Structure 1
Amino acid sequence: MVENIYQPKMMRVIEVRDETPTIKTFRLEFVDDEDRKNFTFKEGQFGEFSVPGSGEATFCIASPTFWRDYIEITVKEVRRATHAFHLLDVGDFVTFRGPYGNWFPVDDFYGKNVMVIGGGIGIAPLRGLIHRVIKERKKFGDFCIIYAARCVEELVYKEEVYGWWESDDICNTTLCVDPGGETPDWRGKVSFVPPVLEQMKPSPKNGVVVVCGPPIMIRLCMEKLVELGFSPDVLYTTLEAKMKCGLGKCGRCNIGDVYICKDGPVFTYAQIEGFPGEVW
């Protein structure tokens, strides 16, 4: 879609959902109908979004590729630009540049057992992938979702997540909260993710795993999965920290000669192990 890489498109807010006290999901539609018709993206890609006057912020596209009339982004309020998003209401406007970056190689996952592990708002980059696997369920082997948050209140996309949890015929879903984050009626696990993996002992045979969440969670999950026999080249994640321009021009996201925004944000653990310096 991107003709002029610096030219943003105008989008309109058509729905706002409160996910948690600090996280909101925004449904956006293109103002120009031609922009809508021409827009395509793939699972895992991102864009640069802005509330005019407040600067740009990088967000993954958190909706499936087959939702054609709109896209969704999920925003945690942490700084000025994200605060401006949290003040938006239906009918307000934002600008968008993108899509940028690479994507999850979903076609390569056909016929394989797929495990998806998300932590907190890290479920957002995984949401489109999850919907894709569910929509094309017969093209994949076993499908397992592990979703964790600090507490029950911090679970994002609760209605969808609980729907996956109840759909044993579609996927095997495990929900976790950190010790102390449970409520009296909580029916999921009270645990960090690595002990859950140790207990589940997923088979590495014909398997791929995609992990997104806080850096410490990603690292510990990757280490545990390798310990369980998974090859680093079938373990995928996204590295989205410090991205700014989205084009590999500003240099904020480079690690050695790798630009996260241009060469990523999707990488295998094998690639990450070869990066110079500290990634996590």
Structure 2
Amino acid sequence: GVKDYVDLTLQKGERQRFWDSCMFYEFSRVAMDHIFMPDREARVKQRLYHKLTYYQQQFEAPGCVGCGRCVYTCIKHIDPVDIVAKIQADPNPEKEVKLYTPPEKKVKPELDPWEPQKAVIKSIKQQTPDVRTYTFAFVDPKVQEAYTYDPGVFNMISVFGIGESAISISSCADLKGVFQHTIRAVGNVTNALAELKEGDIVGIRGPFGFGWPVEEMKGKDVLLVAGGIGLAPLRPVIKYIQARRDQYGKFDILYGSRTPEGLLFTDEYDEWRKIPDTRLHLTVDMVPPGVEWGHNIGVVTTLFNKISVDKDNAVVVTCGPDIMMKFVVLDLLKRGWSPEQIYVSLERRMSCGVKKCGNCQMGPVFVCQDGPVFRYADIMDLPGGVF
């Protein structure tokens, strides 16, 4: 692995290289300290499939030149040749991996994806005690005029001298002249962003990734299921459907939060309820003493009995904590929905945004470029599990 240590002036620093090993428990650590491959054998297979298959698939270049360095440095002296021979000797090997072919990219950034563009904070709106919606505009009017994006994609936001973070866009491209991000202050970059004021400058790279399948959803009912901050990447879907209401069928919005105080975009709920043939259902895990609450209490799946869309002609879009999406998917599958109908957003740790650093890799998938939105049927069999 490689770690860069740079001082705040960005004028000097050092790069440290270190050996990592699939023998170690933390080899598959991703966002929020989630270890998606706790089993050692699975980590070994993941490393070898990446070297011999996934790298070739993603970059059209060999991931192994046969030098033997990996065997020499491996603390267990594992020889990939022996493992491949064993796999080939098994007449019926278990299907433990699945190749992933990402869809063709239709819209690519017009600008250099490595170079941040200056953007000014036009306004800041407090959503909850730790969540704010920032309205940005590029300093260069030509950049702003050319900037467009699909619902569900993300930008890399830089706070100069601190770092950058991948954040989903929470506005719809129909909003001209500006764009919005709804951000929770939880890390170095987002906490630094929380200290900025209107008129301050940040860096923006993007947009990156594949978003929600709004074109495929046309002519169908839509079930939107969100939890907590997961409503932010789904808000563009609501805005998009609202502006093109005659192109979609019934629309159910199910949104859950831990407490009423944690609900986002509360000032927009009345507007959403006025969208023709649209139903908004709210739920919270608990209600603090003295707080009035006239809606459901329980996890978001307790709202599923209120679903009015036609299961046989509908698409599901869901975003939230991994544990929430896991049970949303499981419950829907039990109710007869198919994996082909369900789309999820995998908000795993992303760093570079152009599938070079490997921080967001999950089996053959780079979330930053192949996602963050995926059809569940395409990723349900990936090694290590999706959630």
Q: Output the TM-score relative to the length of structure 1.
A: 0.95
Equivalent AA in structure 2 for residue 82 of structure 1: T
The whole-number CA distance in structure 1 between the counterparts of 2:132 and 2:171 is 14
1:79 maps to 2:187: yes
SS in 2 for 1:205: helix
Counterpart in 2 of 1:190? 297
The whole-number CA distance in structure 1 between the counterparts of 2:339 and 2:193 is 37
Equivalent AA in structure 2 for residue 193 of structure 1: V
1:255 maps to 2:372: no
The whole-number CA distance in structure 2 between the counterparts of 1:88 and 1:250 is 28
Taking a change above 3 Å as real, the CA distance of residues 39 and 72 of structure 1, as seen in their structure-2 partners, is same
Q: Deviation at 1:179?
A: 2.8
Taking a change above 3 Å as real, the CA distance of residues 249 and 197 of structure 1, as seen in their structure-2 partners, is same
The CA RMSD over aligned residues, in Å, is 1.5
The whole-number CA distance in structure 2 between the counterparts of 1:224 and 1:73 is 30
Counterpart in 2 of 1:179? 286
1:65 maps to 2:173: yes
SS in 2 for 1:107: coil
The whole-number CA distance in structure 2 between the counterparts of 1:8 and 1:183 is 47
Counterpart in 2 of 1:276? 383
Taking a change above 3 Å as real, the CA distance of residues 138 and 168 of structure 1, as seen in their structure-2 partners, is closer
Q: Deviations over 1:121-144 (max 9, x none)?
A: 100110111100111111111011
Does the aligned pair in 1 maintain the 2:255–2:283 contact within 8 Å? Answer: yes
The whole-number CA distance in structure 1 between the counterparts of 2:275 and 2:206 is 36
Q: Deviation at 1:17?
A: 0.6
Equivalent AA in structure 2 for residue 228 of structure 1: R
The whole-number CA distance in structure 1 between the counterparts of 2:183 and 2:317 is 21
**What is the count of residue pairs matched by the alignment?**
279
Equivalent AA in structure 2 for residue 31 of structure 1: V
Taking a change above 3 Å as real, the CA distance of residues 135 and 178 of structure 1, as seen in their structure-2 partners, is same
Which residue among 319, 338, 360 is the counterpart of 1:231?
338
Taking a change above 3 Å as real, the CA distance of residues 182 and 271 of structure 1, as seen in their structure-2 partners, is farther
Which residue among 48, 56, 59 is the counterpart of 2:164?
56
Structure 2, unmatched stretches of 5+, are: 1-108
Counterpart in 2 of 1:129? 237
The whole-number CA distance in structure 1 between the counterparts of 2:331 and 2:132 is 32
Greater Cα radius of gyration, structure 1 or 2: 2
Equivalent AA in structure 2 for residue 247 of structure 1: V
Q: Deviations over 1:236-275 (max 9, x none)?
A: 0111211111100000111111111111111011122121
Equivalent AA in structure 2 for residue 241 of structure 1: R
Counterpart in 2 of 1:157? 265
Counterpart in 2 of 1:95? 203
Equivalent AA in structure 1 for residue 355 of structure 2: G
Which residue among 264, 268, 271 is the counterpart of 2:371?
264
Higher strand content, 1 or 2:
1
Does the aligned pair in 2 maintain the 1:62–1:126 contact within 8 Å? Answer: yes
Q: Deviation at 1:55?
A: 0.1
Q: Deviation at 1:79?
A: 1.1
SS in 1 for 2:312: coil
SS in 1 for 2:124: strand
The whole-number CA distance in structure 2 between the counterparts of 1:202 and 1:174 is 13
SS in 2 for 1:108: coil
Does the aligned pair in 2 maintain the 1:244–1:253 contact within 8 Å? Answer: yes
Equivalent AA in structure 2 for residue 41 of structure 1: Y
The whole-number CA distance in structure 2 between the counterparts of 1:192 and 1:72 is 28
Does the aligned pair in 2 maintain the 1:137–1:170 contact within 8 Å? Answer: no
Q: Deviations over 1:178-228 (max 9, x none)?
A: 133586421211111112214547541101010101111111001111111
Counterpart in 1 of 2:130? 22
Does the aligned pair in 2 maintain the 1:62–1:74 contact within 8 Å? Answer: yes
The whole-number CA distance in structure 2 between the counterparts of 1:168 and 1:248 is 38
Taking a change above 3 Å as real, the CA distance of residues 247 and 182 of structure 1, as seen in their structure-2 partners, is farther
Equivalent AA in structure 2 for residue 32 of structure 1: D
1:169 maps to 2:261: no
Overall identity of the aligned pairs, in % = 34
1:109 maps to 2:211: no
Does the aligned pair in 1 maintain the 2:155–2:208 contact within 8 Å? Answer: yes
Q: Deviations over 1:20-48 (max 9, x none)?
A: 01101100001000001111110111010
Q: Deviation at 1:169?
A: 3.4
Structure 1, unmatched stretches of 5+, are: none
Counterpart in 2 of 1:9? 117
Taking a change above 3 Å as real, the CA distance of residues 69 and 278 of structure 1, as seen in their structure-2 partners, is same
Counterpart in 1 of 2:95? none
